[in-house]
Amino acid sequence: MQSPIVSVQAQPRDAASWTALARRAEAGGYDALLAGDHPGTAASPFVALAAAAAVTERLGLGSYVSHAGVREPLLLASDVATLDLVSGGRARLALGAGHTPAEWEMLGGQRPDVAGRVRRFQAVAEACRALLAGETVTLDGPGARAREARLTRPRPVQSEVPFTFGGGNTALLRWAGAHADVVGLSGLGRTLPDGHTHEARWKAEDIDRQIDLIEQGAAGRSTAPAREALVQMVEVTDDAEAAAHRIAGQLNCSPADVLGSPYAWVGTAREITAALERHRRRWGITRYVVRESHLDAVDRLRAHFPDGGGAAVTERGQKSMNNPGSGVI
C-alpha cells in the first residue's frame, strides 16, 4: 500500500497558533495547509495563507474551497497569483459552487437555482484559470461578466497553478473530470433548510456514482484527476462498531455507511489503514483532507502508514499536484 497524501484544513484563531500550525504541518510531512472560504463567518483564506507562507518553505497553500458564487474571477485570480508569488510557487486554486444563502444575501444578492450556480461556477472557474495562465478574458453573463480582464501583475510563479474542484453536483463532477487536477469529495448531500448543514451522502453506491461521473468526464484525458476526500470525523478506538453506531445516529445514516466511507476514520490504526487501502482500490482515493481538531489522532495514525507518514509525503504531494494521475451543490 502506498501512503495517502494528507492535507490539513484549518482556520486561524490568532497569529501565534496559526503560524505554529503551519510549521507543524510542514515538519510533519503534510501536503498542504488549507483554509475555508466563507465571507462573513471565516477568515480571509488568502491573507491567512500568506502568513503561513512566511514561516514555511515546502507546504502547499490554498483555500478549501473558494465560493465561485460570490468571488469575481479577476479578484480571485489576483489573490491566488499573489499567494503563489509570496510563497515561491506553492499556491493552489480550489473552487466550489457554493450553497449557503447568507453568503449571497449579505452581498445584496440571492442564491441562484442549481442551474444558475452551475453556470456561474463554470464561468468563474474557466475565467480564473485563463487569467492565471496569462490570457485575456471577456464574459457576458448570465453567470459572470468581465471585459478584457487581464492579470498583468503579479504573475504566478508556477506555470500552471493546480486546480481542485470541491462539490457533488452531477454536471460539475463530469466537468471536473475533464478539467480539474483534483476532485474533492466531501460526503455532503442536499443543503438542509438552515442553509448551512447538509444531508450525509456517505453510502458506497453514492460514491460509486460520483466516481463514475468523474470518469465519464475524464474520458479522453491522458491523466484523470486525482480523487480526494474530506475527513469529517476521526476516532481511534478498539470498538469501531460502537463508534459507528453513535456517529450514524448523528448523521442519520447506517453504521455500515460510516465504516465504509472515506469521510470518517474510525477503528484501530490497523483497521483505518486497511479501510484507506479499500478506498484506493474501489474509488481511486489517494488524497485526504483532515481538520485541525483531529490532527493529534491523525499524527498517530500516519505513523502506521507504510512510509510512516513522514516528510517524503510533501515532496510526493507537490509532484502529484503537477501530475495528479501519478502515484456541492
Q: What is the pLDDT of residues 183-221, one digit of tens each?
A: 999 998 776 666 666 678 899 999 999 999 999 999 999
pLDDT value, residue 99: 80
Residue 122 has pLDDT above 80, yes or no: yes
The Cα–Cα gap between 250 and 200 comes to: 10
Question: If pLDDT is split at 50, 70 and 90, which confidence band does 324 have?
Answer: very low
Residue 329 has pLDDT above 60, yes or no: no
Which residue type is seen at 136? Answer: T
pLDDT value, residue 252: 85
**Which stretch of 144-158, 197-211, 263-277, 283-297 has the lowest confidence by average pLDDT?**
197-211
Q: Which segments of the chain does DSSP mark as H helices, in order? A: 15-27, 45-53, 73-87, 101-105, 114-132, 170-179, 204-218, 240-251, 255-260, 269-283, 295-302, 312-322
**Which stretch of 8-12, 40-44, 239-243, 279-283 has the lowest confidence by average pLDDT?**
40-44
pLDDT value, residue 22: 98
CATH class of the domain defined by 5-166: alpha beta
The Cα–Cα gap between 112 and 48 comes to: 29
Residue of 322, 260, 252, 318 lying closest to 285 (CA atoms): 260
Tell me the per-residue pLDDT of 147-196, one tens digit each, with 9 for 90 and over. Answer: 999 999 999 999 999 999 999 999 999 999 999 999 999 998 776 666 66
Residue 39 has pLDDT above 80, yes or no: yes
Residue 93 bridge partners (DSSP): 163
Residue 52 has pLDDT above 50, yes or no: yes
For the beta carbon of residue 130, count every other beta carbon within 10 angstroms: 17
Any idea what the Cα angle at residue 75 is, between residues 73 and 77, rounded to 5°? Answer: 65
pLDDT value, residue 103: 87
The Cα–Cα gap between 157 and 149 comes to: 20
State the chain's mean pLDDT as an integer: 91
Residue 49 has pLDDT above 70, yes or no: yes
The Cα–Cα gap between 129 and 208 comes to: 29
Question: If pLDDT is split at 50, 70 and 90, which confidence band does 224 have?
Answer: very high
**Which stretch of 40-49, 131-140, 238-247, 302-311 has the lowest confidence by average pLDDT?**
302-311
Antiparallel, parallel or unpaired: β 137-140 and 91-96: unpaired
The answer to whether the CB of 202 falls within 8 A of the CB of 251 is yes
Residue for cell digits 497569529? 15
C-alpha cell at position 267: 477503528
pLDDT value, residue 322: 41
Residue 319 has pLDDT above 60, yes or no: no
pLDDT value, residue 41: 87
Residue 64 has pLDDT above 90, yes or no: yes
pLDDT value, residue 307: 76
